[in-house]
Structure formats: structure tokens, C-alpha cells
């Protein structure tokens, strides 16, 4: 089975549309969403509607939980906080209830999905070091997992002895355990502004990090028109 995995949409509808079109063209068998549908961008309502309509496994990101009142605003920097408050005003009660119903970790068949880490999913920490990954491998019951949150595409491997990582776009798991991050659909932070997603084939073990162009000007214009902090529009152009 080929999985199309995406995360951190952040209310960027042009980027979400580009990724969903690319995944359709890839003919993946199943889609998985790792959370943070909202926050930062101006298309909160439509991004929630579109992801809900896919009827796929979705987990909660920290922005989703903040908008839903399950996470305090003290965890957010001022720009992110402004976006959470703005997003609350955009969504209807039904959409907020749905976001509140999401959990930050889930198991789908042989795959673990988490937003931040597998070992402390409700704390929404970043998996950035080998040690973070090691703790998640220790807690994870499956051999393959996916996380989001850092907005940087990367794969951590564990061969039973040591954790290694790679940012290469075409990787094969072999008999190693893996936790991979598909990067961000709507706010990439690895200095490549293109929308990011991941294709995983559980038969040959290949992990393909993909990028797709989208209309950044349009997404940025919507952020400015909505009165959100201009930095949230500017950063889309540089992918940081």
C-alpha cells in the first residue's frame, strides 16, 4: 500500500490544493494527516472543510487544540497567538468541536501517527535530535511512525543500536525502524518555500519526500487581507 502523508497545513488553501492534486496524481492508496490544519494562514474554514471531507485519519496539532480550547495560549509566540485568536472567530462551533475531538496520537494499522513526538504527544515537543527520536522509538509500538510539527522534512532511523537521520528525498527503510516527518504543506521552514508531503510504500519500504509549487502570492495576500501579522505572509516566500 502507498500512503500519502501530509502535515502542518496551517490554513493555507492554495498549498493544500496543490498537495492534494499532487497526491491524486501519485495515485496513493491512502491519505494520512498529521495535524495543524489551522493557525498562521487565512483559510482556516476551508482547510478544515476540505480535510474533513477527505474522511481520512487526522490527528490534532497544537494549533488545532489551541483553537479548540484544549491547549493554553501561553505556549504560543505573539504572532501564533494572534492567529489562534483570529481562527477562533473564523470557525463555526461544529468545526471547533471537530478539532476538539482530534487526539495528538493515533495508530493506523502498522503505522503510528503523532504531531510532535510519540513519547509525549500531548506536550507537542519538536523531534529535532537523535535523542528525541530515540525516546519516541522506545515508546512506539510499531516499526514505522510519522510526526509533523517541526515543518522540516526528515527521517529518523533506528537499527536497534543507534539512531541516524537523513534529509534526503528518496530513502529506503530496509529492516530499520523509522519515524519520518513529511515537512509542512502550508508553512515550510527548511528554506524551500514549496509545499511538502511524503509518500511511503509499505511493500518496498521507500520514503519519498516530495515538493510541489503553489501560489504563494495568493496565500500571502489572503493573510494580509485578513489583517493577520504580515510576518506570517512574508515567511511563506522564504520558507522559514
Question: Which residues contact Zn ion by CB under 5 A?
Answer: 8, 36
Q: Identify which of residues 68 and 157 has a Cβ nearer to Zn ion in the complex.
A: 68
The set of residues, in sequence order, having a beta carbon less than 8 Å from that of 80 and lying 6+ positions away, is 39, 40, 63
Closest CA to 144 of 196, 188, 73, 201: 201
User: In whole angstroms, how close is the CB of 36 to Zn ion at the nearest point?
Assistant: 4
Residue 151 or residue 173: which is nearer to Zn ion going by CB? Answer: 151
**Which of 8, 190 has the CB closer to Zn ion?**
8
Q: From the CB of 83, what's the least distance to Zn ion, in Å?
A: 11
The secondary structure element, H or E, covering residue 155 is strand 154-158
Closest CA to 156 of 165, 148, 145, 147: 165
CB of 39 to Zn ion, least distance (A): 7
Closest contact distance (angstroms) between CB of 91 and Zn ion is: 17
If the CB atoms of residues 158 and 219 are measured against Zn ion, the closer one turns out to be 219
Which C-beta is closer to Zn ion: that of 62 or that of 176?
62
**155 DSSP β-pair partners:** 166, 180
Cβ 183 to Zn ion, closest distance in Å?
Answer: 11
- Residues forming a β-bridge with 179: 145, 156
DSSP 8-state symbol, 73: G
d(CA 30, CA 1): 8
Structure-block grid coordinates of residue 141: 509500538
Amino acid at each position: 500500500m502507498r500512503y500519502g502523508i501530509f502535515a502542518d497545513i496551517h490554513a493555507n488553501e492554495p498549498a493544500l490544493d496543490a498537495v492534494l492534486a499532487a497526491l491524486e496524481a501519485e495515485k496513493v492508496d491512502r491519505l494520512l494527516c498529521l495535524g495543524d490544519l489551522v493557525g498562521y494562514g487565512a483559510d482556516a474554514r476551508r482547510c478544515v472543510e476540505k480535510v474533513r471531507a477527505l474522511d481520512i485519519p487526522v490527528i490534532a496539532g497544537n494549533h488545532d487544540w489551541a483553537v479548540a480550547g484544549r491547549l493554553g495560549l501561553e505556549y504560543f509566540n505573539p504572532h501564533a497567538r494572534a492567529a489562534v485568536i483570529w481562527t477562533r472567530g473564523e470557525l463555526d462551533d461544529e468545526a471547533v468541536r471537530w478539532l476538539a475531538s482530534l487526539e495528538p496520537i493515533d495508530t493506523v494499522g502498522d503505522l503510528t501517527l503523532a504531531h510532535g513526538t510519540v513519547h509525549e504527544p500531548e506536550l507537542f515537543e519538536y523531534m529535532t535530535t537523535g535523542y528525541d527520536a530515540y525516546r519516541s522509538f522506545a515508546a512506539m509500538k510499531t516499526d514505522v511512525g510519522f510526526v509533523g510539527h517541526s515543518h522540516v522534512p526528515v527521517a529518523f532511523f533506528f537499527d536497534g543500536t543507534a539512531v541516524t537521520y537523513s534529509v534526503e528525498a528518496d530513502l529506503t527503510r530496509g529492516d530499520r525502524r523509522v519515524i519520518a516527518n513529511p515537512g509542512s504543506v502550508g508553512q515550510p521552514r527548511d528554506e524551500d518555500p514549496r509545499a511538502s508531503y511524503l509518500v511511503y510504500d509499505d511493500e518496498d519500504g521507500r520514503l519519498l519526500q516530495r515538493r510541489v509549487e503553489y501560489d504563494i502570492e495568493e496565500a500571502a495576500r489572503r493573510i494580509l487581507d485578513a489583517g493577520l501579522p504580515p510576518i506570517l505572509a512574508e515567511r511563506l516566500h522564504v520558507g522559514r
